[in-house]
Amino acid sequence: MFKIGDKVVYPMHGAGVIESIEEKEVLGEKRSYYIMKLPIGEMKVMIPMDSIDNIGIRQIIDEDGYQKVMSILKDDCTSMSTNWNRRYRSNMEKIKSGNIYEVAEVVKNLALREQEKGLSTGERKMLENARQILLSELVLAKDSPAEDVEGMLEEFFA
């Protein structure tokens, strides 16, 4: 169980801070929800408390995790399928996993591919989504403004 003030990651949405715990009636059923505020875009997400294990909610990374993400971003591109469809499915699975290291790998690989060959519209949208997920967790992990973390990410791919 998480508590108010905890920094957590919601796979496919990114990281945020649990602002409150509320009971709401949705579709005629009363349930308790974590209300999570994302640091980017000022969006709030309702997470059903009774299904957090299925969703894959987890604590944000610590300093060691942050350093590991940085080393992933600095490393060379990992192998990706040349087949667009396979590459897209593989990257989508990595993003859905909620694993920050896999998301960092997707961001790095797609950003490098974009520089070399360009990306399709679907992959460009995937890169932007993965970037936002990565950015939201790094902002909370380092307790830094989004602009600073975004600038640091830009330096990796300049």
> pLDDT tens for residues 35-48?
999 987 778 999 99
Residue 41: the pLDDT is: 76
Look at residues 59, 76, 95 and tell me which one is the last residue of a structural domain: 59
Residue 158: the pLDDT is: 65
Residue 42 structural domain: 7-59
Residue recorded with tokens 């209300």 = 35
Q: Which residue has the higher pLDDT, 79 or 11?
A: 11
User: Rounded distance, CA 48 to CA 34, Å?
Assistant: 6
| Same domain for 13 and 35 | yes
Domain assignment present for residue 41? The answer is yes
User: Rounded distance, CA 89 to CA 135, Å?
Assistant: 22
| Same domain for 31 and 11 | yes
Domain assignment present for residue 2? The answer is no
| Same domain for 141 and 76 | yes
Domain assignment present for residue 1? The answer is no
- Mean pLDDT value across the chain: 90
Mean pLDDT value of segment 119-132: 93
Q: Which residue has the higher pLDDT, 118 or 67?
A: 67
Give the DSSP H/E element, type plus range, for residue 32: strand 29-37
